[in-house]
A and B are shown apart, each in its own frame.
Chain A
Amino acid sequence: MELAEQVLAGNRRALARLISFVEDDDLAARDALALLYPHTGRAHVVGVTGAPGTGKSTLVNVLAKTLRGRDLTVGVVAVDPTSPFTGGALLGDRVRMRDLAGDPGVFIRSMASRGSLGGLALATGAVVQVLDAAGFDVVLVETVGVGQAEVDIARTAHTTIVIEAPGLGDEVQALKAGLMEIADILVVNKADRPEAARTARALEVTLGLGWGHADNGAWRPLVLKTVALDGTGVPELMDALFSHRAYLQESGLLRQRERERVRGDLMHLLERDLVARLIARVGEPALDDWVRRIVEREADLYAAVQALLEA
């Protein structure tokens, strides 16, 4: 049986193998992804992002447990950074997810960012698709705790949860403008700490400034407090998650965002393949020759592009 068929049949080992092929951009993955594609589009994808140590993994653990309690199956993708020097990575998010062990309705995969700087690995989107096709109702994606996580996760997830923790210095400053903009739900985790209320108020004030014109039916990011360690506030977070899902569906945003994402991916792949095709046609030596001529001031960039396109 094809790997993709085994995945659709619920074979977890096949699922794990396929994810590796996708990560390695193996040719086997392309065929499988094509076969799985018609089965995607059902899962709700939730991004969990925030600074290192704010409690992302702990919150993913308790979120997954709560979702299981509502009879929803959960796939988890947890991304940690690859060392730019050695190519190695220490993936430690599972340490906080031990409560999920032994549950056939949960599948957890750790992923190294492999040189991508956006908080996710290049292949994270495709891995999410595989989990979606495999039938998981919700896919939780934990980003790397550093870097410019905002763009990547906002494109990949339907709902983005941004986590803040009290006592990490100046709260409002810690919450970068970019993170504010992508947050559908803001969570002040570690609410067992005394400064949590102050952090939550500061965030509300900041949000109030930015979203003061939100009377047009647009989604107003919610600020919630949680204690991921014992689950306090998690039912409210769950309700917010479902409200946001409903909002996306009713407003038509779910479709619109998907169209934007697909268009972006399509353009990206077209560009990549067109460039590869062009280079294959003119050959590397011709390219090098143009580079030399431009450096020698015998030609300029625009003339080179024109000539190469017409070659």
Chain B
Amino acid sequence: MSKRLRILVAKPGLDGHDRGAKVVARALRDAGMEVIYTGLRQTPEMIVEAALQEDVDGVGLSILSGAHMTLVPRVLQGLRDAGLDRVGVFVGGIVPDEDVPVLKEQGVAAIFGPGASTDVIVETVRQVLGEA
């Protein structure tokens, strides 16, 4: 039996609802993963700390506030500083096309727009984190 994937789903930033994050969290659970859900208004520092304590394979960030270009790099840097380079980072939300290559360059594994189906998200997470 392969090791069960552990994923942290977090909602950084100040915008107020986490419906999308919860839908994704449930989809990942239904795909057999252990999902640690942290809720609203997480700072990058809180996310990195939780990723470390929970020893996750991946982190999913749901960002609708438009603050992805400040929040995501801080999470990536924090993970590196904590020695968590191998944790895969996924971003869901509204990310303009021109920001996509920039974030990927910085180390984001995949970015999902508001229309992405949960099937695609689950498949991508599995592929990136190396589970058949």
Contact = CB atoms under 8 A, between A and B. Distances in A.
Contacts of B39: 92, 94-95, 98
Contact of A16 (B29, B34, B43, B55): B55
Contacts of A17: 55
Interface string A65-104: 0000000000000000011001111111011001001100
Contacts of B32: 86-88
Secondary structure at chain B's binding surface: helix, strand, loop or mixed? mixed
B55 A86 contact: no
B121 interface: no
A98 B45 CA distance: 12
A2 to B, nearest CB: 17
B53 interface: yes
A13 B87 CA distance: 13
B38 interface: yes
A88 B55 CA distance: 16
Contacts of A24: 3
A89 B29 contact: yes
Given A13-B83, A83-B29, A88-B29, A95 B38 contact: yes
Contact of B36 (A86, A94, A107): A94
B29 A110 contact: no
A13 B35 contact: no
A88 B5 CA distance: 9
Contacts of A89: 29, 34-35
Given A13-B83, A98-B39, A110-B36, A90 B55 contact: no
A112 B34 contact: yes
B69 interface: no
B28 interface: yes
A202 to B, nearest CB: 33
A87 B6 CA distance: 12
A110 B54 contact: yes
A111 to B, nearest CB: 9
A25 B37 CA distance: 24
B52 interface: yes
A250 B42 CA distance: 44
B29 A90 contact: yes
Interface string B39-56: 100110110011011110
A16 B46 contact: no
**Residue from A12, A20, A110 whose CB has the most chain B CB atoms within 10 Å:** A110
Contacts of A87: 4, 32
A109 interface: yes
A61 to B, nearest CB: 12
Contacts of B55: 16-17, 19-20
A35 interface: no
19 contacts: A16-B52, A16-B53, A16-B54, A16-B55, A19-B55, A20-B6, A87-B32, A88-B33, A88-B34, A88-B35, A89-B29, A90-B35, A91-B36, A98-B38, A98-B46, A101-B46, A102-B49, A108-B53, A109-B53
A-B CB proximity, top 7 nearest: A95-B39, A88-B29, A16-B55, A101-B46, A88-B32, A20-B55, A87-B32
